[in-house]
Amino acid sequence: MTASSPPARAPVPTGFKPPRTNLHTTRVLPGFKSSLSLTITYLSLIVLIPLAALVARPWEHGLQGFLFVLTDSRVIASLKLTFGVAAAAAILNLFVGLVVAWVLTRYSFPGRRLLDALVDLPFALPTAVAGIALCTLYAPSGWIGALLAPLGIKIAYTPLGILVALVFVGLPFVVRSVQPVLAEFDAEVEEAAQTLGASPLQTAVRVIFPSLAPALLSGFSLALARAVGEYGSVIFIAGNMPYVSEITPLLIVIKLQEFDYAGAASVALIMLGLSFLVLIGLNAVQLWLSRQGGRS
Amino acid sequence: MSLIVNTITKSFTNFAALHEVSFEARPREFIALLGPSGSGKTTLLRLLAGLDTPDSGSITFEGEDFLRLNARDRRIGMVFQSYALFRHMTVADNIAFGLNVRAAKERPSKAEIKAKVESLLDLVQLQDFGKRYPSQLSGGQRQRVALARALAISPRLLLLDEPFGALDALVRKDLRRWLRRIHDETGVTTVFVTHDQEEALDLADRVVVLKDGEIEQIGEPLELYRQPKTAFVFDFLGHANQAQGMLSGGSAQFDGFSVPAVSSAADGQITARFRPFESHVSKTGPGFPGKVLSILPAGSNLRLEVGLSDGIVYETQHAHDSEAATLRIGDDVVVLPTKVYAFG
């Protein structure tokens, strides 16, 4: 094969990006200043000021008091449990959520709409109710717990129970992030893969899932964030044994009940810092993904 | 014959997309499927690709029953209207995709794939773009990547669905010539779908004109142009002026004058059609009387619009140095066709 002469066009220099257009100097819609000031005021009242208070609070007993809390083995154990189980739950939800979203968008079957609506239930249900229901089911005397007990598997009152509760509250985040992207996936792209000789599995793994990555990641981040902060459903099923199944939010409540406000704020601040780091990390991955894939 | 399509019929829920369509393509031939939207041309292309199955009829390619193979196994190269590039892959990975997904024992070695990708990037004039992502390319460049990706699997048949639909006029014309050259170099039998008659006539060895799921005419571009079989083909291939007249013995009689006619109709009342460039305008003489509405340049010609008293507007084309050049808007003129067509 030899090259034919090129269609005439100016070469685009490597790294060239068209000028950004999101900060218009002339705008179609008015109200940039008023909407920005509303945004900043609102975010300050709802997010920034309470968090600033949290940062200001722990120093009653000086840095030493804070470090004492930071190195308390009970606090460290609870942090490990909270972030570890939350991550495990989010990872589990990543796979299950993808399957659920896939089934809901790709197949039509009787009851699909009902199933679709069910996905949102964990959003709507008071988490304490969910916790009690799960606990009743998975307790050694419960329907599912009774089946697992002879196998030596204990779910309620163990970290495994926490996992069940966090999977429950996190699932809708992954499903709802992935579903619209999957629904709008260009059918021609799949057909192109097919005509190029890819099997259905290869098409799914090499073509469809990679383009879902940004949506999967944002679903994962939301599910993780939700799981880290979850309190209501967990305390009923966890058993709350210090060092074993005691989550950090519970530890904060315990400190509050003991009127140890500075200690509670210290734990909260550590949690806030860790969550912040995790979210920054996930955002960086998100940015990298979107740089790679780009949007056409 | 390499591709034989025989009495293909395809209906979707309560609407027939194709009705007993048959045509053949010779090896190395470049065939255009031309028709307005809804004529079934894209449906036909999808049947060839194996992305849909016909209700009845057969498709054979080099003696092989194509309908028994699914899209995966037909080894055809398909270029989609939306390009359908894999967004998360670089240009090079896009092109290599068809080779990378092959079973291990059929897959060329990494070095062979790399060499193949290089040579295809060369062919589509995107040598330095291998590491870019599709989002960093212009429309025309994406189209060329899509073509390179389709060619990578050394297809037995190349199918293109409105390949230039989304590009601007200048780029289209460039790519058209270039596509034809690539076809001539690779020698792959090609079927391409378009609604643009100029594109079809310009590119294809033979054109299949479709209307409402049926074939109106198959022929070489010149043949279609000079001997259109139906009024639809005549109207679709270029601007047509219409006039009522009487046909008798090879000429059409109008009000006080007659014009030679190419006709498949029986003698009697006819709707005659004539091309803008097969007519004269002058200030006096026989013809259809009217007023000049506009005079505009159309490339090597002058294009006139002449309004008749009954509201009909005729479009005519003349050389820049003809009598038409002396006319002004508002002048009273007569339009005299030099040749008319009539269809039975």
Backbone angles phi, psi at B208, to 5 degrees: -105, 115
**Of B218, B234, B250, which one is at a domain's C-terminal end?**
B234
Question: What is the rounded CA–CA span in Å between residue A7 and residue B172?
Answer: 10
Nearest CA in chain B to A196: B98
In a shared domain, residues B168 and B251 = no
Structure tokens at B96: 């290599």
pLDDT for the residue B304: 92
Question: What is the rounded CA–CA span in Å between residue B155 and residue B50?
Answer: 14
Query: In this structure, are residues B252 and B270 in contact, taking their beta carbons and an 8 Å threshold?
Result: yes
Q: Is the pLDDT of residue B66 over 70?
A: yes
- We report the CATH number of the domain holding residue B30 as 3.40.50.300
In a shared domain, residues B54 and B154 = yes
B82, B152, B185: residue with CB nearest A186: B82
Decide if A35 touches B, using CB distance below 8 A: no
Distance from CA of A204 to the nearest CA of B (A): 12
List the pLDDT tens digit at each of the 296 positions of chain A.
444 555 555 666 666 666 665 555 666 777 888 889 999 999 999 989 988 888 888 888 888 888 988 899 999 999 999 999 999 999 999 999 999 999 999 888 999 999 999 999 888 889 899 999 999 999 988 899 888 888 888 888 889 999 999 999 999 999 999 999 999 988 899 999 999 999 999 999 999 998 899 899 999 999 999 999 999 899 999 888 889 889 999 999 999 999 999 899 999 999 999 999 999 999 999 888 877 765 43
Query: How many domains is chain B partitioned into structurally?
Result: 2
pLDDT for the residue A295: 46
Question: What is the rounded CA–CA span in Å between residue B185 and residue A1?
Answer: 7
Nearest CA in chain A to B134: A296
A91 CB neighbour count, 10 Å cutoff: 14
In a shared domain, residues B184 and B273 = no
In a shared domain, residues B247 and B165 = no
Question: What is the rounded CA–CA span in Å between residue A81 and residue B270?
Answer: 90
Question: What is the rounded CA–CA span in Å between residue B203 and residue A246?
Answer: 74
In a shared domain, residues B164 and B226 = yes
Q: What ipTM, to 2 d.p.?
A: 0.84
Distance from CA of B92 to the nearest CA of A (A): 14
In a shared domain, residues B185 and B223 = yes
Decide if B138 touches A, using CB distance below 8 A: yes
In a shared domain, residues B245 and B223 = no
Question: What is the rounded CA–CA span in Å between residue A24 and residue B21?
Answer: 54
Confidence of residue B323 (pLDDT cuts 50, 70, 90): confident
B167 CB neighbour count, 10 Å cutoff: 18
In a shared domain, residues B223 and B256 = no
For residue B246, how far is the Cα from the chain centroid?
33
Task: Tell me the average pLDDT of chain B.
Answer: 91
Q: Do A192 and B80 touch (CB under 8 A)?
A: yes
In a shared domain, residues B262 and B197 = no
Lowest average pLDDT, out of A46-50, B149-153, B171-175, goes to B171-175
**Of B234, B259, B286, which one is at a domain's C-terminal end?**
B234
The alpha carbon dihedral of A256, A257, A263, A266 has a sign of: negative
Question: What is the rounded CA–CA span in Å between residue B232 and residue B230?
Answer: 5
- Which residues form the domain of B317? 239-342
In a shared domain, residues B62 and B86 = yes
In a shared domain, residues B276 and B332 = yes
Question: What is the rounded CA–CA span in Å between residue A56 and residue B315?
Answer: 82
Question: What is the rounded CA–CA span in Å between residue B249 and residue B260?
Answer: 9
Confidence of residue B294 (pLDDT cuts 50, 70, 90): very high
Strands B56-61 and B157-161: unpaired
Decide if A7 touches B, using CB distance below 8 A: yes
pLDDT for the residue B165: 78
**Of B213, B234, B255, which one is at a domain's C-terminal end?**
B234
Q: Give the pLDDT mean for B129-154.
A: 92
For residue A105, how far is the Cα from the chain centroid?
21
pLDDT for the residue A20: 62
Backbone angles phi, psi at B274, to 5 degrees: -140, 150
Structure tokens at A74: 């009970």
Backbone angles phi, psi at A231, to 5 degrees: -130, -55
User: Which of B86, B133, B138, B170 should one mutate to test binding to chain A, selecting the residue with the greatest count of A CBs within 10 A?
Assistant: B86
Q: Do B71 and A202 touch (CB under 8 A)?
A: no
Decide if A2 touches B, using CB distance below 8 A: yes
Question: What is the rounded CA–CA span in Å between residue B117 and residue B109?
Answer: 12
Say which amino acid occupies B339. Answer: K
Residue from B108, B53, B41, B50 nearest B76 by CA: B50
Nearest CA in chain A to B85: A189
Query: In this structure, are residues A6 and B173 in contact, taking their beta carbons and an 8 Å threshold?
Result: no
- Write down the pTM of the prediction: 0.78
| pLDDT more than 90, % of chain B | 63
Q: Do A206 and B97 touch (CB under 8 A)?
A: yes
Confidence of residue B316 (pLDDT cuts 50, 70, 90): very high
- We report the CATH number of the domain holding residue B272 as 2.40.50.140
Structure tokens at A216: 């999967």
Decide if A31 touches B, using CB distance below 8 A: no
Lowest average pLDDT, out of A70-74, B163-167, B172-176, B304-308, goes to B163-167
In a shared domain, residues B219 and B245 = no
A129 CB neighbour count, 10 Å cutoff: 12
Structure tokens at A53: 């208070």
pLDDT for the residue A109: 92
Distance from CA of A86 to the nearest CA of B (A): 29
